[in-house]
Amino acid sequence: MANVAADIYVDGFVQGVGFRHFAYQKSKECGVYGFVRNLRDGRVLVFAEGDQGCMDRFLAAIRRGPPGAKVRSLHLEQKAYTGEYREFTVLFDM
């Protein structure tokens, strides 16, 4: 399968509900790498890369979100796969 990468902007009630930790856990289960961070405008940004099947599973989980979150929409921006990430990181800066 082809390797893919994307910036995923998650909109809704997604801050203060454990969304970043949820994304971290799902990245481990799905086998994707990258990072997750809160944005000042209330959205969450996830950069993820991996093979297409892993990304599909990860995106399905992100669309649901953790209990307490209300994901309104996802906006994907396809990026070039870099292969530079070897783990998934939760970033705490904005």
Q: What residues act catalytically?
A: 20, 38
For each of the domains in the chain, give its residue range(s) and CATH number, in order of start.
3-81 (3.30.70.100)
pTM for the whole structure:
0.94
Residues whose CB is less than 8 angstroms from the CB of residue 37 and which lie 6 or more positions away in sequence, other chains included: 20, 44, 45, 90, 91, 92, 93, 94
Task: Give the span between the Cα atoms of 24 and 82, in whole angstroms.
Answer: 19
Amino acid at 60: A
Q: What is the pLDDT of residues 7-64, one digit of tens each?
A: 999 999 999 999 999 999 999 999 999 999 999 999 999 999 999 999 999 999 999 9
